């Protein structure tokens, strides 16, 4: 069984597209759920399937605190955070073993 770590992540529909911020203890499973449309709701409706940012945390409490902080940020701040690490909004899931999106 693979290890699981608390993580805050940002998914996007594309470069400067719709953004979704979430928290999970199993990033690989969560990416799969988003890509396959298993989460339903907002991310499925807007085609939010591209992992553009993630950060690992030592505890779920700290990950949830960070998620709430990021959700309260202005959109421009979120874009700046993404582009600091990922200027071209590449799908970071590919580096984690997922196939590129069509």
In this prediction the pTM is 0.94
How many residues in the chain?
Answer: 102
Using 50, 70 and 90 to split pLDDT, how confident is the model at 3?
low
pLDDT digits (tens, 9 = 90+) for 15-73: 999 999 999 999 999 999 999 989 888 998 999 999 999 999 999 999 999 999 999 99
What is residue 18's predicted lDDT score, i.e. its pLDDT? 97
| 35, 101 contact by CB (below 8 A) | yes
| 34, 69 contact by CB (below 8 A) | no
Topology at the third CATH level for domain 7-96: GIY-YIG endonuclease (3.40.1440)
Q: How far apart are CA 31 and CA 43, in angstroms?
A: 11
């Amino acid at each position: 069984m693979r290890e699981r770590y608390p993580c805050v992540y940002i998914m996007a529909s594309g470069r400067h597209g719709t953004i979704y911020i979430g928290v999970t203890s199993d990033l690989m499973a969560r990416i799969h759920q988003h890509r396959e449309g298993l989460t339903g709701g907002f991310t499925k409706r807007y085609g939010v399937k591209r992992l553009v940012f993630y950060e690992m945390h030592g505890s779920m409490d700290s990950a949830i605190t960070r998620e709430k902080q990021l959700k309260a940020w202005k959109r421009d701040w979120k874009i700046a955070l993404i582009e600091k690490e990922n200027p071209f909004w590449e799908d970071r899931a590919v580096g984690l073993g997922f196939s590129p999106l069509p």
